[in-house]
Structure formats: C-alpha cells, structure tokens
C-alpha cells in the first residue's frame, strides 16, 4: 500500500494520526508533502511502514515584481558619469542592492571594461553611502537576488542599504580619470517588504558601437507586471540638460 499526500502539523503533533505514521524525524513545523510504503500481511494487517521522502510543500508564489534593472554604459571621457535613479514607494523600508561592475565584465568577454568604478547612493542633497571596492559581506545578498558572483577583492563597487520611501540616485564614476564600459545594476533585495521600487531610470551617454546604452531588467514572482519603458532625449532640454 502507498500513502502519499500533504499534511499540516505543528511540531508538537508531528506523530499524530494526520501524518499516517510519518516518521518523527522532521524537526520543523509547517506544511509537508510525504510518500510512504506500507507492508501488509496475508490478513490485511499492517506489518510496518517506511517513509521514502518528506519535504516542505512549495510556498505560495509571490506576486510578480520588478526584481532588477541594469544598464551597460560607457563611463568617463566624453561619456561622463552615468546616473541611475530609482523611486521607492509604499510603507516601511526597502532593502536595495546597487552595483557598479567594471573589471569583472572581462570574464564575459567584454573588452574595454572600466578598471576601477566608484559608486555613490544619494537622496536629495544627502550622500547615503559610497563604495570603491565591494565588501565581501555583501556576497550572500548578491546570491539571494540572483546576481552573478564577483571575485573576492575585485575593484567592482556595491552598496547594500535599507531605504525609506523617496527618490534616490546612484552615479558611477571612473577612478583616477579612467574610462571604460561598466554595468550599473539596481536590485530589489527584499521581496517581502510592503515598500516597492516604482521607477528606475538611467541617465547616460548614448553613442554607437561599443558606446550604445543597453538597459536590461528581470521580473520575479507569479503573474505579470505592466511596465512603461521610455527613451527620453530631446525633452531633457526642458530640464536644463
């Protein structure tokens, strides 16, 4: 006889009848899926059961959300300083990961990568944080959002911060007057927060060939997200650009 299905139990009642004799080696409360084999005697009596596996039931899928946006841009020289901007709306704090990838791009076959980018996180007239070489303590957060890993002690830059609702900018500059190609990334590092990233933009130099500005984005969760994507050029003159 095969027993299978799903069950819900508190830690105190793991051995209850609801589990149909499931082994009590499970040490975490919650929803589980399980499969057992039961040996039956000639009279139909049970001779014992063996649990083949038991694993946590899949968690309910979270609603779709914008997980990250990135821009490949030229930095320094005629291209100047690209600036990412984003808006956080809602209630509470939002954990955000911002990265400026330069030298690690060489591993992807990209030539002319920026050797040593510097990154700042700004709210209005206040500088929230700056970084020149990313801290290894951010590696776990990078992995949790699906960002590709960076070599330890590389000259790439990153900032991990919990931010309240408001408008933020993240300029990326070249150290010591250098120039090259960099990848500027903004990640939603806290999908459970009631706050949300509602807008992400990048102001950067647009050229041809290797100086083409390339944005990319990722959507996580279940369902769809309605996005408005714009490339604004001549209208910037009205803002003094």
Range in 93-102, 154-163, 174-183 with the lowest mean pLDDT: 174-183
* pTM score of the predicted model: 0.72
What percentage of the chain exceeds 90 in pLDDT? 54
Torsions phi, psi for 53 (to 5 deg): -160, 155
Each residue of 26-42: pLDDT tens digit?
445 555 555 555 666 66
Contacts of 101 (CB under 8 A, 6+ apart): 117, 150, 156, 182, 183, 184, 185
**pLDDT higher than threshold 60 for residue 122:** yes
Q: Taking Cα atoms as reference points, which of 175, 80, 96 lies closest to residue 129?
A: 96
**pLDDT higher than threshold 80 for residue 18:** no
Structure tokens at 39: 């040996």
Report the alpha-carbon distance of residue 9 to residue 18 in Å, rounded: 8
Give, in order, the Cα–Cα distances in Å from 160 to each of 33, 76, 96, 137.
Answer: 36, 24, 6, 10
Each residue of 45-57: pLDDT tens digit?
665 655 545 555 5
Each residue of 96-113: pLDDT tens digit?
999 999 999 999 998 899
Identify the bridge partners of residue 203 per DSSP, sorted by sequence position: 83
Tally the C-alpha atoms within 13 A of residue 182's C-alpha that lie toward its C-beta.
36
């Amino acid at each position: 006889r095969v027993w299978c299905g799903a069950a819900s139990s508190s830690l105190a009642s793991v051995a209850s009848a609801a589990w149909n004799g499931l082994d009590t080696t499970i040490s975490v409360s919650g929803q589980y899926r399980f499969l057992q084999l039961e040996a039956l005697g000639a009279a139909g009596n049970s001779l014992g059961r063996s649990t083949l596996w038991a694993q946590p039931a899949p968690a309910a899928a979270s609603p779709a959300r914008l997980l990250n946006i990135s821009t490949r841009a030229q930095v320094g020289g005629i291209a100047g300083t690209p600036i990412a901007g984003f808006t956080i709306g809602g209630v509470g704090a939002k954990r955000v990961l911002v990265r400026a990838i330069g030298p690690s791009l060489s591993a992807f076959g990209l030539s002319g990568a920026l050797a040593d980018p510097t990154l700042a996180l700004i709210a209005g007239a206040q500088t929230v944080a700056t970084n020149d070489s990313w801290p290894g303590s951010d590696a776990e957060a990078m992995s949790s959002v699906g960002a590709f890993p960076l070599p330890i002690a590389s000259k790439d830059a990153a900032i991990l911060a919990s931010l309240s609702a408001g408008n933020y900018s993240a300029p990326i500059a070249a150290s010591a007057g250098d120039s090259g190609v960099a990848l500027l990334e903004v990640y939603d590092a806290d999908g459970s927060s009631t706050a949300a990233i509602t807008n992400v933009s990048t102001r950067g130099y647009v050229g041809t060939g290797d100086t083409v500005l390339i944005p990319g984005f990722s959507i996580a969760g279940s369902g769809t997200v309605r996005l408005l994507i714009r490339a604004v050029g001549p209208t910037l003159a009205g803002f003094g650009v």
